[in-house]
Structure 1
Amino acid sequence: MTAGPTLPDDVAETLVDPRAYADGRIHDAYRWLRQNEPLGVARPKGYDPFWVATRHADILEVSRQNELFHSGDLQTTLTNQATDALVRQKTGGSPHLVRSLVQMDAPDHPKYRLLSQAWFMPANVRTLETRIREIARASVERMAQLGGRCDFVKDVALRYPLHVIMEILGVPEEDEARMQMLTQELFGPQDPDTARAAEDSQEQTADALGAVLDDFYAYFERISAERRASPKGDLATLIANATIDGVPISGLEQLSYYVIVATAGHDTTSSSTAGAIWQLCEDQEQFARVKADPSLIPGLVDEAIRWVTPVKHFMRSATADTELNGRHIAKGDWLMLCYASGNRDEAVFEDPYRFRIDRKPNRHLAFGYGGHVCLGQHLAKLEMRIFFEELFARLERIELAGEPAQTQAVFVNGPKSLPLRFEMA
């Protein structure tokens, strides 16, 4: 690790503390970093040192240089030394329990991305609008039947995008609850409400994540076998029969493809949807504006995604010595791209700590940038727009009915409970 300015211990420890992402302290740390040390080295106990990029411009600069900053050479998400060692022991040396698009670099990454890219491009996504609207309308109707009170996350936000992506993937509706549980266990291993591990120990957490992935793999191995025997017009059929350069993709890569679609394809959308409703409860004037003027909904969608930024970070590693914002980055150095910090960068966003449905421009980084930009971004925004169009056509009043809570997670984090009182037309 190259010598760089070392961040204060309390700031470094906040970056790795899942509770800080639930109670909001992470944003205090981000703000301090942007103002005082926007590109410094964190050395928290039990972790390999890593650079911390907190400004919008630096995150963009790294994200656009995929050859210089790799995703797959080291852990792609922040991982402590003990867990990294356990993962490498399980995999025979690889830092990854899965090998999805997220963990790939060129030449594999563009080839594997191309397999499903057409499914998620705007032209194809628009063909799904009628069916997505039916699902959204049914979700709003279910909410209306709840008698004026609900936990919006658990009763509505989690279920709607899950149903959309599972239908695209080809997972039967009766298995959706299982997919939801496995997703929460995968993304929330540090949260006591979603963790599969009985104890908060590094070894138990690593074992639990391995077990979650084993469950995913066992499920999708059956789906793959079915789709090879009887192809259908769904994404599972494409994955089950996929080839790269004329050769079928490996079992690990096939199963990893299922997992990334089945998890990232709904969890982040549900978090952003719930985040929007939370903020509209806090600001009734903006709720009244967007209800009266549906043309404001696309702006609401983008602002909700910026505000929540469900994927808080990804890690990159330098493939050669380089310079970044005046700092010398050495070959092999590990970098943390703090998207949620970039999305509060005062140099880019006016009044960044205010939720504004009319924010323009809104150059948020919540979907990443460059070669690894989120494949499902157009689908996510379409789902949210349609849902809000259907909801606001009927929703007359909404307010908080208790204290909202967020997940304790360093990687993917968002609302996990949002108690509401509401009136429907």
Structure 2
Amino acid sequence: MAAAMPQTPSSGGPRTGQTDWQLDPPRIDQDEPLGEIVRQLSVYFIDAIEAPHTFEQLRTASVGHILKPLIQSISESCHHPDIVSALLILKCHFASGDQDDHGINDTRGHACEIVAWRFLTHLSAAELIDYLLHELPPVSFDPESYDGVGTHPDNGDAAEHAALLSGRDPSATSTRGKTRTSSIAEEEPMASFVGLNALEIAAVAGAKKFLSQRVVQKTVDDIWNGHIIFWESLSVHSKKRAKFYNKARADPYCRLRVPKYQKSFEALFFALFLGLYYAVLVERNPHKITPVEALLYIWIAAFAYDEFGEFRDAGIAFYVADFWSLWDIGIIGIGVAYMVSRIIGLTRDSPAITDVSFDILSLEALFLLPRVCSLLSLVPFFGTLIPCLKEMTTDFVKFLGIVIILFCGFLTTFTMLARGDFTPSQVLWIMINVGLRFLHLQNSS
């Protein structure tokens, strides 16, 4: 297996680093393990990119020329089905790396997106499906098999041999070897991506530039409209495989799995869910379970079963990447708590527990109503607004931590100053009232 070895420096102008080294792109065989592909690509990008640049700068000829040999090499000679997935896994790894490098890791991540995108432009429509929608099989990744510092007894000889071949200083090669080891060989970066295809990995990795390209969007639109399907029948023996929809061969009932139709049924499901929820709250029968309440139980159980199926099919990495998964878990958790407390209240004939069960059910609206509104993300305007609200919420939570720390400091100070006149709970309540402007300062004395 060939590693990316730096060759004789040329004077053809500035590259993405300090010196213009001509790099041999890695040669990737069709039966290459995924871990080795990621390692070779990581070595190449670390050697090729040593200065920060934006995505747009990497697309220009003056800066992005260093990526052309790799793009040309994999476009002409690489037929590995996981090459796009490997590039996007590497993008995720660089994006989650150290941020003390003045943005160099971000630049390497952008380079991974550009190479993956440019590679797709050389493919036919059928090949696009094979490379974008091929799911990663379980992989074996052996960090000790790579040239990490301290993992082989003859690492020093290997580093010295590489330095002699490249004409570089051995200490520099040793330092670069440590960087490579820390970037890939210390952990198994592919474990959380098993079972995902390249599109799903791009979503998990936050590869928005890659996903926004026309060739990728065309595939996403075909999946949404049902032109590309994953199942030809609803049989339990059917195997999941992406292919173009063939009306003559496909089971008509498998059209129920088309995302566009699934969202329509999901909207209807949530509308009925919301109607049953309000009907039970308004009726509020403390003595028995009414037919409407029984239907609500069925709806909650069906929602939980469907959510479990989505988690099992998507995998934990892709499931967690969905912002609304947290709301779904909240709906299920509150629904289960309501059903359990409701049954306990009826079996013990306890009005207090029954009242608590309906109080728990009222909390369901905090998760159910926003979840229903999530369907608005299909509209282009709300599709851009909701991610903005998500980022604003994240920043607000971070800022809230600072506010709580300052509040505790003021609470401690005022409690000590008012000792003997007010209890800590009274000081806390006064501060809350003042902060929310419910009472004037003179009324709190």
TM-score normalised per structure 2: 0.22
Q: Which has the higher contact order (CA 8 A, sep 6+)?
A: 1
Higher strand share: 1
Q: Which has the higher helix share?
A: 2
TM-score by length of 1: 0.23
Structure number with greater Rg is: 2
